[in-house]
Structure 1
Amino acid sequence: MCGIIAVLRRRSDRTAPTGSELLALLDGGAVALAGADPVTLASVVDDVAARVEEADRLLRGTPGLQALLADRALPTMLGGLAGDIGAALATCEAGLDDQPGEAAGLEAVNAAVIRLKDALWAVQRDRLGTAVEVAELAGTNPSRAAIEGFASVQAALSALDRLEVRGRDSAGLMLLVRDHGLDLSEPATAALAAGRTGDPLFTAGSVRITPEGHLSFVYKAAAEIGELGDNTRVLRTAIRADGLLHRALVADDSVVTVLGHTRWASIGIISQPNAHPMNSDEVAQVDGPYVTAVLNGDVDNFADLKVADELRISPEITGDTKVIPTLVSRRLAAGDDGVEAFRQSVCRFDGSVAIVANASGAPDRLQLALRGSGQALYVGLDDDLYVVASEPYGVVEDATRY
């Protein structure tokens, strides 16, 4: 049992909402609920729910984050108003317990109450909670690109927190940053990258410079014994402290693709080299097409494929996932286009698998595969976002449909 998460984001063309616009939607909601009588309660709750839903819509995506991060007092004010609405709703529900009324009216009220509770949860837990986490990841005065990039990182980390119930002996995130505009030979930048580009096992903190000049960062945690949340805390700490990553996201044009995984080891020991994502590096061969991948399930014939294709894989990497990016990279090097390289590689795998891969030559594309039984991938959509996860609860926080 494992969990997959991947996030692609494009720049939104939606204008960031104003604080006054957001506050006006929630202001007066608690008073309206307190003044509702049994006859009008359902319609009043529905009206307040519609206003909270509109606030949730405006707060979604990077435009909403821009508004919340531009005015650090705004989240507190919105949270206070949402809390007041929640308290007023609880009072209304208590009154219904004392005087339930007729059945048809109760059904309408209950439907409206559920609608409002869902909207309040989205605003309080998802939108405002995300803003807090993105602010901690991005630091002070983040660029627009940094807000977008760390929003994707937060979406992945939040999903991993939920997906950990599928396995948590290790976890990892790969961040592919393109259009960063960095001069990697500049002394300060070179110092931040020093010692990070040569790790053949792609363990925590490793960085790869792809043939296209993109930067591939990886963050990993692995432990035989631990508690829920331990792995993502390690990843968050490393991401917050990564000066090179933060420098790469200063440029307004920089874009981040995120690929992540939480693992329950079935093939290969519990270790950072075996933690996903894995990349396409081979021993003494790091300049070919660059591919990263994550896997749920097992590639049952991975050992045969290693021998048949003479894959030069470090002996410390004993998991089956490594053959995926390596085989795709080799097919790309042989001249296949991205789709065909991935398709031909996956067709050779025996076993039940769910795979997500990304090639640096097509950084804004994710390649997905399902083979065998017992696996799933869900694609969540929002206006400016794709989220791919192996469980529906990996996409619901950010996606409006899937």
Structure 2
Amino acid sequence: MNNHGKRRTAAVGVGALALASMMSACASANGTAGASDKDCGTDLKFGVLTAFTGELGEFGEVSQNSFKLAINDVNASGELPEGWKTSTVVSDEKTDIQVGLRAATDMMQKDKVSVILGPSSGPIVAMDSVATRYKVPIISQFAGTTNFDAVGGTYLFRTVASDASDGEAIAQYLTDEGKKDIVIVVQNDQSTITAGQKAEENFTKSGGKVVKTIKYNPGQASYQSVVQQATGAKADAVYLAGGQESATTILKEMRDAGVHGKDVIVSADLVVNDVITGVGKDWADGLTGVTAKADAKRPQAKALSAAYEKEYGEAPGIFAENAYDALTLAALAAVAGDSTCGESIAENLPKVSSSGKKVTSFKEGAAALKAGEDIDYDGASGPVDFDETGTVPGSYAVFQVADGKWTVDKFYKAEAIGKGK
């Protein structure tokens, strides 16, 4: 598989919330011009706002590639309403709450986008008030934080399962492997903390024991104290949830301390090729990661994989399917409401993915909508039925490193994991 994983950012702190409030106030002062107007024109404008740099920088390219494939399919379908066109505005949220919030506000206020795609966990949660003010929906392909539950479902959506489901999948794997006790090492950020909490909660429910939980702050040159605490606990395994830069350093220091790669399970963000390169493929052999993943046997996933390889010369990374479905759903919602207005798109997102005729492409779905039928889009990532929090169920894969590559070792269907609630 290729790199690319999931959705980790710093917590939404007081400063970020203050910034969100300030920007919402500015929006009030300037009115709600743009894609929230009743007559929004014929330009279906997608704002691509994802992490191209920062702790999740490696993930931006694969998402952008999938967004491009999806918009190409929309344009080639011949099913857009007469006179409509599509366009995109792209910006880097840098895995940073303030940067993402400012960029989202610019996209809504200045660029007048119809919908925003791509933010990671911290930024999208902080964008709630601005999205509500401008009536522009935001869809993430990898924001798993459980904090999303409190704000999602009206203007915020995600085509990936909650971190709560991650915890279930990780606990299931640990139990399947006969692990009795573990150490949890988590970066002191919003989403990694919730991932660690849910892993602990579900593992203990299954009869396992968490010997020690260690939190660390990123940006350090060394994490020797963290490694010493983890190795000193003498558990069956270590679960590490962190950003790519900090976690790679920790893994190197674990390696130097005599820990074996096969005794470490990592969070989804670390199921990337750079981690293998950073620690060395020999030590990484047996390193395990659990992450949301589409069922590769699904026809829709196979079709996307073939198109991605043809266009980009490599297999799609994790969350390629989720990104593709995010844009496709937004386009179908626009057609369903016969409007490029964000408010209409937000209203119709759940409607095009919950009940009606099963469709598996934009072309098929848009044609059915034009014929007056209700539709249920079943995507490349799986069923994308939004619940009341704007979250979808998700299937999971267990990846292990073998011969310097991440390969699928086990697969858990969505119904086997549930929604983590």
Over alpha carbons, which structure has the higher Rg? 1
TM-score for both structures, normalised by structure 2: 0.28
TM-score norm. by structure 1 comes to 0.29
